[in-house]
Amino acid sequence: MKFRPPLRNRASAFTLIELLTVIAIIAILMGLLFPALSIVKDQANKVKAKTDLVNTVAAVKQYNTEYGKYPAAPSITSGQPGDYAFGDPNAYALTVTDTSGGTGATQSNEQLYNVLRNYPGMTRPTPDLNPRQIVFFEGRTGTTTAANPRGGFATSTTGGTNGAFYDPWGNQYYIIIDGGYDNLLNVPYNDYKSNPLPQSVVGFSLGKDGLLGKKTGNAGDGYFKNSSTGVMSDDVITWQ
């Protein structure tokens, strides 16, 4: 009579077909997961950008409450007519036209944030645009990349323009301020150009593609939401 070992003592292993099946299932699941993670990350970046912009608008308004005027830059005189903007003029050259007819060219945004942050680590300029030395805005240092930093302020070690505030995609935030003091602002998006916004300060981010509006070819279409096509851009704005 032959002795047969108990089943629990028998060696067991996956067959080659079973291993290939498991690997294929894992590959399929990873293929489904990565796009979902990308969508979640993009949404989180948009929320972060909106928070940064809303906090900046609040800081500019607090400055106005404290000093009775809006923060400008040394190159913008207090008596200059027209609204003005801060952002990266090399990435998007924004010229703001005030309802009164005055115009203001874009200044790199560190000129605004230096004032709001009370000139951190800097020699105080003349004129001193924050003589009471109030910190209206605080922020994190951006994540270092090969080009501009992402999601914070540039320093001498992060790349980008020192002191400029960058969105999560490595573009400077844009802030438009009511230098005409009529509580009306023109913004560069085509879907808002018919009527000035009843705002004193607004801000926007060019989004992941770094273009104004939806990317069409190598340029943006200039619409936050194109009314004829219904296509929404990836930009982030404060007035909606």
What would the pLDDT profile of 213-226 be if each residue is shown by its tens digit?
Answer: 999 888 899 999 98
pLDDT confidence of residue 169: 95
Residue with tokens 């070690």: 157
Longest dimension (CA), the chain: 111
Which pLDDT band, with edges at 50, 70 and 90, does 9 fall under? low
pLDDT at 27: 81
Q: CB–CB of 48/168 below 8 Å?
A: yes
Cα(179)–Cα(103) distance, rounded to whole angstroms?
10
Half-sphere exposure of 221 (CA within 13 A, CB side): 17
Burial class (CB in 10 A: 0-12, 13-18, 19+), 162: middle
How much is the pLDDT for 2? Answer: 58
Determine the Cα–Cα distance for residues 37 and 133; give it in Å rounded to an integer.
Answer: 43
pLDDT at 81 over 60: no
pLDDT higher than 90, residue 209: yes
Q: Is 83 a residue whose pLDDT tops 50?
A: yes
Question: What is the share, in percent, of the chain residues with pLDDT greater than 90?
Answer: 53
Confidence of residue 25 (pLDDT cuts 50, 70, 90): confident
pLDDT at 101: 47
The neighbouring-strand residues paired with 237 are 204
Beta-carbon contacts of residue 33 (< 8 Å; ≥ 6 apart): none
Determine if the pTM surpasses 0.85.
no
Give 6's pLDDT tier (boundaries 50, 70, 90).
Answer: low
Tokens of 210: 């770094």
- Calculate mean pLDDT across residues 167-184: 92
Q: Are 211 and 220 in contact (CB under 8 A)?
A: yes
- The answer to whether 224 touches 237, Cβ cutoff 8 Å, is yes
Selected residue with higher pLDDT from 27 and 158: 158
SS3 for 45?
helix
Q: How confident is the model at residue 203 (pLDDT cuts 50, 70, 90)?
A: very high
Say if residue 98's pLDDT is above 60.
Answer: no
pLDDT of residue 100 exceeding 70, the answer is no
